[in-house]
Amino acid sequence: MGCVRKRFLSSMPYWYYEKKELKDTPSFHDGIDFETESRYRKEGARFIIDTGTKMDLGYNTMATGVVYFHRFYMYHSFKTFPRYVTACCCLFLAGKVEETPKKCKDIIKIASELLSKNKFQTFGDDPKEEVMTLERILLQTIKFDLQIEHPYSFLLKYAKCLKGDKAKLEKMLQMAWTFVNDSLCTTLSLQWEPEVIAVALMYLAGKLSKFEVVDWAGRQPNHLRWWDMFVEGVTMDLLEDICHQVLDLYSQPQQPNSPDSPPMSLTSSTKRELKSVPIVAQPIARLSPVKPIQPIVTGAKLKTDLKSQTDGPGLPPTSVDVVPSQYSYPPGVTSYTNSSFSAQPFPQNVPLQSTSNSSSYPPSYPPSYPPAQANSQYLPPSKSHHPQPQQPPSSQFYPASQSSFSSSYQPQ
Amino acid sequence: MPFNSDEPKPSFQPSNKVKVMSKPMPPPSRGGSYMGQPRSGGTSGMEGSMSVNSIMTTKEKQKYIEDYNFQYCDEASKYEKIAKIGQGTFGEVFKAKDRKTQKKIVAMKKVLMDNEKEGFPITALREIKILQLLKHENVVNLLEICRTKATLSNRYKTTFYLVFDFCEHDLAGLLSNINVKFSLGEIKKVMQQLLNGLYYIHSNKILHRDMKAANVLITKTGILKLADFGLARPFSFSKNSAPNRYTNRVVTLWYRPPELLLGDRNYGPPVDLWGAGCIMAEMWTRSPIMQGNTEQQQLTLISQLCGSITPEVWPGVDSLELYTKMELPRDQKRKVKERLKPYVKDPFACDLLDKLLVLDPSKRADSDSALNHDFFWTDPMPCDLSKMLAQHTQSMFEYLAPPRRPGHMRPHHQQAAVINPTAARATTSSVESGYQDRVF
């Protein structure tokens, strides 16, 4: 399994960790259990993405910020450095590194809007100074390893080589793209190189979108699978493991209401009810015409489907009728030079799942997936200047103004 | 000052020092006593432990930061400052010596952050990113980035230094010293290395954007290094639909190519080759060939040397933003060879200069074709600089040198490059190992 991990310079710190190392972090030694740390990481990553999306930052900037964030907490505890300050700092630095700079005070302003009063208190009396001071610590911690590669570019590279029905391929690519978005909330970027993550999540998307890769450009006789051309030594076990780490995001039980979270706008009993009821993801709310609610697909179900396909003959995954049909690639994707970053901001209000049969696609099935929780946490009900529109409970979970991560994060 | 890392640490180290794939996996370490802070209830992972109250106080955090051992960012005090040798785009440059080995000499470039409203300067981040990417014999080598310790006395504000391999000379310093004489073969070696460096950085999609003699370093063994990537940036070839919008306020005026002076924002590698041409001519003239005081004057000087700037010699120039706004001398004949001949006797050299100092960037020689020019492949062949440089024991930097004589290249002032041979012997240094630094 190890042979795929090969890309590093001797002088560089090694940024990839074994799973057991990920359970032996400064936070863990500081009394924070693994599950809690995972949640903090997820919340921090989501917050970076939400803030970045609000500021029209590109996916590379957000992803870079998230990777800084994950790396930072391999050296410091969440108790020492509150996650939302660190998240702002990571996004601030990533903005500069990816040539999409944002003013520190603007980031803080968005943060103050997104966060509850309680959480924003962690920024102290002088939030800007807090972020500035942290930036120096961040830079030293990450050893000025500023340039981060993300799986996105590899998805595009791989997709170009695959042969098959073009529409299906694009559908698959879009799905893989979304999985990569969501994978930022996991620690996968601390475990595997972007190439490996791209292969795994494209494999997953291929399975779920029923796009079978039969041939690819540049195929050699010794290539059994398309990815053999790009990464060596990727086993099925490894792929499954990576896929499951992402799929776990969609099946995680909702966290109990944490004391440091603002009160939810819904009573917990309502939430419990909602949890047991299929919730249609936010994007659908903006669609017209609204499609009938489709049965929810849980991560567990997806896993079953994945399994049945992997294991050979089995029932076709009928329930996973995936993927938005409208997608496009980020403009200028062929050249990932800095100059093109600003040209490809993430669309804020593009209805990505504009057509039918989209509701069961991963982005829209986080019934219990953090977005629901996270979004609602960001919206303290007390904010009188932000009146909540009267909406059915489910849409309150996905306020239209804050599109869920997955969907708003798709390339255009 | 003792090495901080040698001090015993009061902190506990996690037991796992697992090696990952033969790479040392740094254990999550902390060096401080902040751990003495009370924990909420002592229950691990309880939500309550992250309530605002349990977060470190400012004081505790300051202590934590002060004591934290950043494993990948050494303290600047591991080097001993010897002398200030320059003033970079974003800070001072020092010559320094490794305290431990007492041998390794480095150049330390301070990252100036005092006036930064937006934290660590984006220009410095760019330079770091680019230097980390570029590893080539003819590009200055970034060794590491060092920090000063955050303490109360510096208000917990760390200062950063970029640490480079030390180079003894810069080309501007060498050229301003009349005792330094370059033979034709040595000039070829300088230019060959310079173009090699440019070829490498351009292949890596980086524009230097500040080519000038002072940014060309030369080691005492005669290896040339392109330096100061403070203005460098990555480039891409734009699609017709979306031209690049780079800033044109780059490159020191005397080395600035005509397209930048005319407001082009969609430029590319040729901007650096114009600078290479200016530097090459300077190898003979010994001072910059076009020393304008204003952008307008610079354009006038360029026109007087390279001929009038017109759409005939440069198709499309009339669509550049400042084409109509600048006063462009008309009916100027191209006199590159004619005016340089008095200095540059070698016809191949003249021809190469003629191909580098081309107005139209699309017709300007690129580094590859320049390297294939007969200039580099005819006798005398490029020859090693170390012998010549061995005669000079004093470090020569433009920053340390007396101001260079101003004055434009005048076509009839033919003897400008003549060097007094009797003055050639530099004072032999009493310090055998090193180079003396002229500090004024």
For residues B12-34, one letter each, b for 16 or more C-beta atoms within 10 angstroms of the residue's C-beta and e for the rest, the string is eebeeeeebeeeebebbbbbbeb
Q: How far apart are CA B276 and CA B352, in angstroms?
A: 11
Hey, what are A278's tokens? 């299929």
Give which of A256, A274, A279, A271 is closest to A366, Cα–Cα: A279
pLDDT band at B421 (very low <50, low <70, confident <90, very high): very low
Q: pLDDT category, B50, cuts 50, 70, 90?
A: very low
Closest CA to A20 of A6, A41, A34, A1: A34
Q: How confident is the model at residue B121, as a pLDDT? A: 92
pLDDT at B68: 86
Residues in chain A: 412
Neighbours of B271 (CB within 10 A): 27
Q: Residues B185, B382: contact at Cβ < 8 Å?
A: yes
With cut-offs at 50, 70 and 90, classify the pLDDT of residue B85.
Answer: confident
pLDDT band at B191 (very low <50, low <70, confident <90, very high): very high
Distance CA A320, CA A362 (A): 9
Q: What is the pLDDT of residue A204?
A: 95
What pLDDT, on a 0 to 100 scale, did the predictor assign at position A34? Answer: 96
Q: How far is CA A27 from CA A150, B49, B61, B73, B255, in A?
A: 26, 11, 15, 22, 53
A121: distance to nearest CA of chain B, Å? 7
pLDDT recorded at residue B72: 80
Closest CA to A393 of A254, A272, A250, A259: A272
Question: B109: annotated binding-site residue?
Answer: yes
SS3 B300: helix
Q: Which residue has the higher pLDDT, A355 or B249?
A: B249
How far is the alpha carbon of B73 from chain A, nearest alpha carbon, in Å?
6
Name the band, by pLDDT with cuts 50, 70 and 90, for residue B54: low
The predicted-structure confidence for B156-183, as pLDDT tens digits, reads as follows 788 999 999 999 999 999 999 999 999 9
Determine how β-strand B105-111 pairs with β-strand B91-98. antiparallel
Is B44's CB within 8 Å of A32's CB?
A: yes
**Is the N-terminal amide bond of B234 cis, ω within 30° of 0?**
no
pLDDT at position A164, please?
Answer: 87
What pLDDT sits at residue B7? 36
Distances (CA, A) of A376 to A404, B112, B382: 11, 42, 70
Nearest CA in chain B to A120: B52
Please return the burial class of B228, using the count of CB atoms within 10 Å of its CB with bins 0-12, 13-18 and 19+: buried
Q: In the prediction, which pLDDT does B260 show?
A: 96
Cβ distance B241 to B247 under 8 Å? no
Question: Residue A369's pLDDT is what?
Answer: 31
> What is the per-residue pLDDT for B250?
75
Residues of B in Cβ contact (< 8 Å) with A96? 118-120, 122, 125
DSSP A297: -
Whether residue A381 has a cis bond before it, omega within 30° of 0: no
Tell me, yes or no, if B90 comes closer than 8 A to chain A by beta carbon.
Answer: no
CA distance A300 to chain B (A): 26
The Cα B86–Cα A183 span in angstroms is 46
> Residue A303 has what pLDDT?
54
User: Which residues numbered 226-255 in A keep a CB inside 8 Å of some CB on B?
Assistant: none
Q: Does A342 touch chain B (CB under 8 A)?
A: no
Listed in sequence order, the residues at least 6 apart from B104 whose beta carbon sits closer than 8 Å to its beta carbon are B97, B98
DSSP secondary structure letter of residue B428: P
Which of A8, A26, A136 is the closest to B23 by Cβ? A8
Rounded to whole angstroms, how far apart are CA atoms A380 and A382?
5
Give the pLDDT of residue B403: 57
pTM above 0.90, yes or no: no
Whether B55 and A79 have beta carbons less than 8 Å apart is answered as yes
Angle, vertex CA B200, rays to CA B198 and CA B204, nearest 5: 110
Confirm if B395 and B169 have CB atoms less than 8 A apart: yes
Question: What span, in angstroms and rounded, lies between the C-alpha atoms of B410 and B227?
Answer: 29
Helix A194-208 / helix A151-161 crossing angle, nearest 10 deg: 50
A338 contacts in B (CB within 8 Å)? 233-234
Asked if B45's CB is within 8 angstroms of A31's CB, the reply is yes
User: How open is the CA angle B353-B356-B357, to the nearest 5 degrees?
Assistant: 85
Candidate ranges A271-280, B35-44, B298-307; pick with highest mean pLDDT? B298-307
* Range B376-391 average pLDDT: 94
As a whole number, the mean pLDDT across chain B is 80
> How many other CB atoms are found less than 10 A from the CB of residue A125?
8
Of residues B361 and B30, the one with the higher pLDDT is B361
- The region, left, alpha or beta by phi > 0 then psi within -120 to 50, assigned to residue A305 is alpha
- Residue B108: φ, ψ to 5°: -115, 125
d(CA B282, CA B364): 18
Scan residues 201-260 of B and list those with Cβ closer than 8 Å to A: 205, 233-239, 242, 244, 246
Whether residue B187 contacts residue B232, with contact meaning beta carbons closer than 8 Å, is answered with: no
Give me the residues of chain A with pLDDT under 50, please.
1-12, 256-298, 308-412
- Distance between CA atoms of residues B134 and B136, nearest Å: 6
Phi, psi of B158 (to 5 degrees): -70, 140
pLDDT at A254: 55
CA pseudo-torsion sign B357, B358, B362, B365:
negative
Give A70-119 as a 3 state SS string: HHHCCCCCCCCCCHHHHHHHHHHHHHHHCCCCCCHHHHHHHHHHHCCHHH
Per DSSP, the residues of B16-35 read --PEETTEE--------SGG
Per CB-CB distance under 8 Å, the chain A contacts of B59 are none
Instruction: Tell me the percentage of chain B whose pLDDT exceeds 90.
Output: 60
> According to the model, what pLDDT value does residue A176 have?
95
pLDDT level of residue B49 (50, 70, 90 thresholds) = very low
